[in-house]
Chains A and B, each alone.
Chain A
């Protein structure tokens, strides 16, 4: 085996391309098993079960049928299923990660739970949020955004939302259906009401 050598930089990103489905999101359409589904739900999960759904559009307002979305989130108590979060519960089966390909009309959906508040680097609470990575043909590197929830009072004091111009915050806020545990958030990759993407 080669010994460790200091690399001269990271491996650059390249687009996921148009043909990832049979490898990354086969979901019954191809003869390959899914590593991940669009659900984070596990039998032991606590918290409010919610569905997050929406559509993805390009700069012409045309639905994007070949995107892959991935989410990463804390549990209902705001803990991440990663030993780097010292508050993580080692035996919990909840993982907080899911993956979904858009359909021919650009639709996506996730079945998950509403996460709890997560501290920011100063220890102040962030409003409940989910990290979202967007991959697709034409996207040379995936984009990072966040999903917030329309019915959370904590949004007003969230330190990351505070970085976003007030008139663009709605692009990060999933809106709750009246009477149903369903939140809706459309993503616009470009143009009017372009989704806020973060440089992380």
Chain B
């Protein structure tokens, strides 16, 4: 199948400059991006990195000698294209704070405890239908210095590849009905309300495992449409 990547779809993304998010002020280009036609360079992309995915890398609760503290959760869903087709064989990398809202990163100075049994990094590859699954701990909210009393809503960072270099996506998955949403400039950097909603996972009772873990569903929709859709035939 040949894919096309209309640039109109990029309107779902935040604008580079979002002044309420202070770090964007000196890091967003001043000059407009230059439009160009996609060439073979843009239309191809890496199918690679899978060999580094080890058994169990999608379970962030079993990477150490003991179990991490916090609420065990399942996060699963499909990587899809804009037509809704599953994107198979896509590397999905995640990283997150622990249940107290603390990252392992040396520069995270939030005075909440580190968990010796939780690093917070995982990766997997979507299957033939685009399906992926992680087991992890629900991350905590945490304060940051963007403005007075700024707190990030709980989130899991995701990095996904897809069919070409222009489908590359780094995003954050949020949890349903977080009371911090109205106050978070990163979440609200996405101008369209419906697009913001696509960053919020849904609670999945059907796949919640009794006596073990709540489940959240999160579909990741990447750029890419069939260049020759059926209705044109």
A140 touches B186 (CB 8 A): yes
Q: Which residues of A contact B163 (CB under 8 A)?
A: 84
Q: Which of A11, A36, A74 has the most CB of B within 10 A?
A: A11
A35 touches B93 (CB 8 A): yes
A80 on the interface (CB 8 Å rule)? yes
**A136-B24 Cα distance, complex, nearest whole Å:** 10
A139 touches B16 (CB 8 A): yes
B14 touches A82 (CB 8 A): no
DSSP class of A's interface residues: helix, strand, loop or mixed?
loop
Q: Which of A105-113, A114-122, A176-184 contacts B (4 or more CB under 8 A)?
A: A114-122
Q: Which residues of A contact B13 (CB under 8 A)?
A: 12-13, 140-141
B30 touches A11 (CB 8 A): no
* Given known A12-B196, A163-B34, contact A140–B14 (CB-CB < 8 A): yes
Kindly report which residue of chain B lies nearest to residue A192, judged by CB atoms.
Answer: B30
B148 on the interface (CB 8 Å rule)? no
**A11-B172 Cα distance, complex, nearest whole Å:** 9
Q: Which residues of A contact B15 (CB under 8 A)?
A: 140
A60 touches B159 (CB 8 A): no
**A111-B206 Cα distance, complex, nearest whole Å:** 48
The size bracket of the interface on A is 35 or more
A23 touches B121 (CB 8 A): yes
B108 on the interface (CB 8 Å rule)? yes
A10 touches B34 (CB 8 A): no
Q: Which residues of A contact B104 (CB under 8 A)?
A: 22, 30
Q: Which of A1-9, A47-55, A149-157 contacts B (4 or more CB under 8 A)?
A: A1-9
**Given B32, B43, B52, which contacts A84 in the complex, CB threshold below 8 Å?**
B43
**A6-B131 Cα distance, complex, nearest whole Å:** 16
Q: Which residues of A contact B122 (CB under 8 A)?
A: 23
**Contact residues of A between 83 and 102, Cβ < 8 Å to B:** 83-85, 95-97
Scoring A residues 4 to 38 as 1 if CB is less than 8 Å from chain B, else 0, what string do you get? 11111111111111111111101000111111100
A11 touches B220 (CB 8 A): yes
A197 touches B103 (CB 8 A): no
A170 on the interface (CB 8 Å rule)? no
DSSP class of B's interface residues: helix, strand, loop or mixed?
loop
* Given known A33-B52, A35-B93, A190-B29, contact A85–B44 (CB-CB < 8 A): yes
Q: How far is the CB of A61 from chain B (nearest CB, A)?
A: 10
Scoring A residues 171 to 200 as 1 if CB is less than 8 Å from chain B, else 0, what string do you get? 000000000000000000111001111111
Q: How far is the CB of B2 from chain A (nearest CB, A)?
A: 8
A196 touches B40 (CB 8 A): no
Q: How far is the CB of A77 from chain B (nearest CB, A)?
A: 13
B94 on the interface (CB 8 Å rule)? yes
B194 on the interface (CB 8 Å rule)? yes
Q: How far is the CB of B120 from chain A (nearest CB, A)?
A: 7
A194 touches B27 (CB 8 A): no
Scoring B residues 20 to 58 as 1 if CB is less than 8 Å from chain A, else 0, what string do you get? 011111111111111111111111111111001110000
* Given known A35-B123, A133-B168, contact A1–B82 (CB-CB < 8 A): no
**Contact residues of B between 89 and 133, Cβ < 8 Å to A:** 91, 93-95, 97, 103-105, 107-108, 119-123, 129, 131
**A15-B165 Cα distance, complex, nearest whole Å:** 18
**A53-B57 Cα distance, complex, nearest whole Å:** 32
Q: Which residues of A contact B121 (CB under 8 A)?
A: 22-23, 26, 30, 32
* Given known A12-B13, A200-B7, contact A58–B26 (CB-CB < 8 A): yes
Q: How far is the CB of B69 from chain A (nearest CB, A)?
A: 18
Other than A11-B199, A131-B42, give 20 A-B pairs with Cβ distance below 8 A.
Answer: A1-B78, A10-B82, A10-B169, A15-B186, A16-B159, A19-B103, A19-B108, A20-B157, A22-B120, A23-B120, A23-B157, A58-B26, A59-B26, A73-B41, A82-B45, A140-B16, A140-B24, A140-B189, A190-B27, A199-B35
> Can you give 5 contacting A-B residue pairs, CB < 8 Å?
A11-B199, A12-B199, A14-B189, A18-B105, A190-B30
